[in-house]
Amino acid sequence: MKTKAKLITPAELAGSDASAPIWGDYTRHYLAEGDSWFTLAALPGGNLLQELKLEQTSLIVTTAYPGDTLTHMVEWRQNTAFVNLLSRPLFAWRWDAVLLSAGGNDLIDAALAAPGILAAPAIPSTNAEDYIDTEGYAKFETYLRRNFEALVTLRDDAASPNRDIPIVLHTYDFPTPRPASARLAGTVGALGPWLYTAFTEHNVPLAIWQALADALLKRLASILTTLNLPNVHVIETQGTLDRAAAGSAGDSGDWLNEIHPNLSGRRKLADKWAAVLDAL
Q: Residue 80 sits in a domain of what CATH number? A: 3.40.50.1110
Q: Has residue 160 got a pLDDT over 80?
A: yes
**224: containing domain:** 3-279
User: Over 90: is that where the pLDDT of 224 sits?
Assistant: yes
Across residues 193-202, what is the average pLDDT?
Answer: 96
Give the chain's largest Cα–Cα span. 63
φ, ψ at 134 (rounded to 5°): -60, -50
Comparing 3-12, 220-229, 266-275, the range with the smallest average pLDDT is 3-12
Q: Are 132 and 216 in contact (CB under 8 A)?
A: yes
Assess whether pLDDT exceeds 60 at residue 76.
no
Quick one: which of 183, 235, 181, 175 has its CA closest to 211?
175
Listed range (25-34, 139-148, 186-195, 271-280) with the worst mean pLDDT? 186-195
d(CA 95, CA 278): 15
C-alpha atoms less than 13 angstroms from C-alpha of 184 in its C-beta half-sphere: 13
Q: For the chain, what is the radius of gyration of the CA atoms?
A: 19
Instruction: Work out whether strand 3-4 and strand 53-54 pair parallel, antiparallel, or are unpaired.
Output: antiparallel
The answer to whether 53 and 60 have CB atoms below 8 angstroms apart is: no
Q: Which of 75, 214, 211, 50 is nearest to 154 (CA)?
A: 75
Of 15-29, 90-104, 208-222, give the lowest mean pLDDT range. 15-29
Q: What is the band of 37 on the pLDDT scale with cuts at 50, 70, 90?
A: confident
* pLDDT > 60? residue 77: no
Whether pLDDT at 188 is above 60: no
What's the total number of domains in the chain?
A: 1
